Amino acid sequence: MSRSSSREAIMEATLTALTTHGYADLTIQAIADEFDKSKSLILYHYNSKDALMAAFMEWLLEDFLAKVEDAGSDDPATRLRRMAELVVVGDGDENERAFQTALLELRAQAPYNEALREQLVENDRRIREQIAADVRDGIDRGQFRDVDPEQFAAAFRSAIEGAQSHNVILGEDAPTESALAGIERQLIDELLYADSATKGKTTGGRGGDVELEANH
């Protein structure tokens, strides 16, 4: 087994084991049980559960960024919407809730786990960079207003992560639909769109006076 195919198999097994057992009960053995290789093969590649979890979070990041690209759109608003939906409700997998529940437990361990925390810092940085790049692209196209891309990225990332956490924590009583609608219609359509300064993108154009107001 090559390094990359071993890695992929271990990551897939980790995903399955985490979804099945949750984070608290996750062991290297439980992961090994999910594929036809041994615990020692896992420990050959990753010398501790902590190192494995950090590598798993990196793998999830790559998977997430690839899914945003897979949507096949170069329209920045469509890309931001895709990102919001992927984070808040996932891509429709039936095990999504169990997986997100385990991830929430895992993230709550970061203050006690340096390797994990460092990887989550990197994930956060890369995701904010992607959001800011899409915002910059929208501004360059004249499609978005001239907001501060990094500030928007930090607030947008907070909103999608908070909506996901609520979805997991509050379960069926979570206001997920409303939160996602607020993120898409207000944060993207109304806040970002250049041609919808006061109402969102449902109306076209804007008056000269509004433009004047915008430049004071």
Minimum distance from residue 30 beta carbon to a copy of itself (Å) = 18
162 binds a copy of itself per the rule CB under 8 A: yes
**Cβ of residue 199: shortest distance to a copy of itself, in angstroms?**
5
For position 81 contacting a copy of itself by CB under 8 A, the verdict is no
Indicate whether 201 belongs to the interface with a copy of itself (CB under 8 A): no
Q: Which one of 16, 20, 95, 165 is in contact with a copy of itself (CB under 8 A)?
A: 165
In the bound state with a copy of itself, the residue whose beta carbon lies nearer, of 42 and 183, is 183
- Of 21, 108, 137, 144, the residue at the interface with a copy of itself (CB under 8 A) is 108
Torsion region of 182: left, alpha or beta (phi above 0 gives left; psi -120 to 50 gives alpha): alpha
Three-state SS sequence of the chain: CCHHHHHHHHHHHHHHHHHHHCCCCCCHHHHHCCCCCCHHHHHHHCCCHHHHHHHHHHHHHHHHHHHHHHCCCCCHHHHHHHHHHHHHHCCCCCCHHHHHHHHHHHHHCHHHCHHHHHHHHHHHHHHHHHHHHHHHHHHHCCCECCCCHHHHHHHHHHHHHHHHHHHHHHHHHCCHHHHHHHHHHHHHHHHHECCCCCCCCCCCCCCHHHHHHHHC
- φ, ψ dihedrals at 144, nearest 5°: -105, 155
Does residue 119 bind a copy of itself (CB under 8 A)?
Answer: no
Applying CB under 8 A, which of residues 5, 36, 94, 212 lies at the interface with a copy of itself?
212
Does 173 contact a copy of itself by CB under 8 A? Answer: yes
| Binding residue (CB under 8 A) for a copy of itself from 7, 21, 136, 145 | 145
Give yes or no for residue 93 binding a copy of itself (CB under 8 A): no
Binding window for a copy of itself (CB under 8 A); candidates: 7-15, 31-39, 43-51, 183-191: 183-191
Give yes or no for residue 179 binding a copy of itself (CB under 8 A). Answer: yes
Class of residue 189 by CB neighbours under 10 A (exposed 0-12, middle 13-18, buried 19+): middle
Our finding on whether 115 is near a copy of itself (CB under 8 A) is no
In the complex, which residues of this chain contact a copy of itself (CB under 8 A)? 101, 104-105, 107-108, 110-111, 117, 120-121, 124, 128, 145, 147-148, 150-163, 165-166, 168-171, 173-175, 178-179, 181-183, 185-187, 190-191, 194-199, 202-203, 206-216
